[in-house]
Amino acid sequence: MTQHPDQSGRSDSMQGPKMQIHEVLGCPPHEGDVGSGLVFRTSRGEIPAILHSAPDSKQGVIWVCGARGGFGGPAKGAYSRLSESFTAQGITSLRLSYRQPNVFPECMLDLLAGVTFFQSTGYEPVIMVGHSFGGAVVIAAGAASHHVRGVVSLSPQTYGANMAGLLSPKPLLVVHGKSDTRLPYSCGVQIHDWAKEPKELVIFDGAEHRLDECGDELESLLGKWIPEKLRSISQEK
């Protein structure tokens, strides 16, 4: 599969360097994972991705991990399981890794390239989900793009997340574990305080940074919140 989006990997409201997507190539699934492997060839390097395509879908979710990149996400691979379950609900998921993990501006461009891909192939609205470092990146990218219509920030860092106040009226869900020893749950509380309505904060007692201890509850929460927000947004159009 080769696609040629003809837009840059940034929104019209984002300041800074452009990323041009030259082509999107199909490849075997990454790391033996489920879904269809993709590579975005851009003017700033290649972005690896996994697509979970729902037939006749116009709604999309973009998922990113922490500072090291990868695809599985927290709670022992919750991203892949949720992505697969969403296809039955007519929701397409795009799981992105980073070209330059832990480099905030470049990772933000990667996310915006994913938004451009969805936009150029007819998907709108889009919700972003990020964990840890990625929880801040999705907030920054969500604030920069008009095509992002909701953000989920899991165990987020505060660095880069101060744009949470610019997300409104897009809904924001912040989730944190109360026993997180890497990024204390006060980070999630601070980001929630920065944000304007509509916003939600969920703290899981006994859960560490990767949220393994509350995996079932997390998947249940996201499995309801994301489709409900996408339906609500679609009904507004």
Q: How confident is the model at residue 17 (pLDDT cuts 50, 70, 90)?
A: low
CATH of 48-236, one of 1.10.3720.10, 3.10.20.30, 3.40.1160.10, 3.40.50.1820: 3.40.50.1820
Q: Report if pTM > 0.75.
A: yes
Mean pLDDT of 19-44: 90
Distance of CA 90 to CAs 26, 114, 150, 210, 232, Å?
21, 18, 17, 28, 14
189/4 Cα distance (integer angstroms): 41
Confidence band, pLDDT 50/70/90 cuts, at residue 125: confident
Q: What is the mean pLDDT of the chain?
A: 91
| Tens-digit pLDDT profile for residues 63-103 | 999 999 999 899 999 999 999 999 999 999 999 999 999 99
- Residue range 46-55: mean pLDDT, rounded: 96
Show me where the domains of the chain are located: 48-236
